[in-house]
Structure 1
Amino acid sequence: MPKRILQGTVTSDKNEQTITVLVERRFKHPLLHKTVRKSKKYRAHDENNTYKTGDQVRIEECAPISKTKRWTVVTEASA
């Protein structure tokens, strides 16, 4: 089964080798038929501390690295 890849914005880079990524998804509400935006934060592993707040990145699922980290940064997302 392929690993999930998500795209989002870095909201925090204060921890060592860890960034927080805000991923936003859009979908149509089943009853109201209105576009709804939902967002969720993921903690991702950043080996060399290369990504800073505001960067667009892609993250990929991986085996658990710590209690909260289950994602790694793949690349910086192209604009």
Structure 2
Amino acid sequence: MSFRPTARLFEAVAAAPRQSFLGEVVGTKMQRTIKVRVPKVKIHPIVQKPVTYHKTFFAHDAKEKCVVGDYVRIDSCQKISKKKNFTLGAIVKPAARYVEKDGTVHTQKAPGVGEVDRLAKAKEVKGIEHM
């Protein structure tokens, strides 16, 4: 058995992703693909104040477990398709999910969603039958 340091070094380098970004999922309309918006803060050259720029990346989500609003880490990988160079690393912060009475799941609070629930809760607390 001979020790080959180059082989271990190569394994360590191959295991670590070259790039990784943190961003918010803004789209899940494609099969096994998520659209991630990554913010980048730069100092404006003239005003000398921080300005946030954004770039969107397509990432591979094999199990389709992300929803719009999740904060995720994406890692670079070998090119999967024309625009996909990243895979889903981890879900850092899952999005809030709201379930209506008919079973419809919303990932982001839309206007009007939950209004009925608040009214029903107020009726229960105050003991009012009609309102």
Alpha-carbon distance in 1 for matches of 2:47, 2:62: 43
Alpha-carbon contact 2:70-2:93 (below 8 Å) kept: no
How far residue 78 of structure 1 moved from its aligned partner, in angstroms, is 4.5
Which structure 1 residue ranges, 4+ long, deviate > 4 Å from structure 2? none
Provide structure 1 residue ranges, at least 5 long, that are not aligned to the other structure: none
1:3 to 5, 18, 22: 18
Q: Which has the higher helix share?
A: 2
Q: How many residues align?
A: 79
Q: Which has the greater radius of gyration?
A: 2
RCO (CA 8 Å, sep 6+): is it higher in 1 or 2?
1
1:64 matched to 2:79 = yes
Alpha-carbon distance in 2 for matches of 1:72, 1:59: 6
Provide structure 2 residue ranges, at least 5 long, that are not aligned to the other structure: 1-12, 95-131
Which residue matches 1:74? Answer: 89
Among all aligned residue pairs of Structure 1 and Structure 2, give the percentage whose two residues are the same amino acid.
34
Which residue matches 1:23? Answer: 38
TM-score (norm 2): 0.57
RMSD of aligned alpha carbons: 1.6
Q: Which has the higher strand share?
A: 1
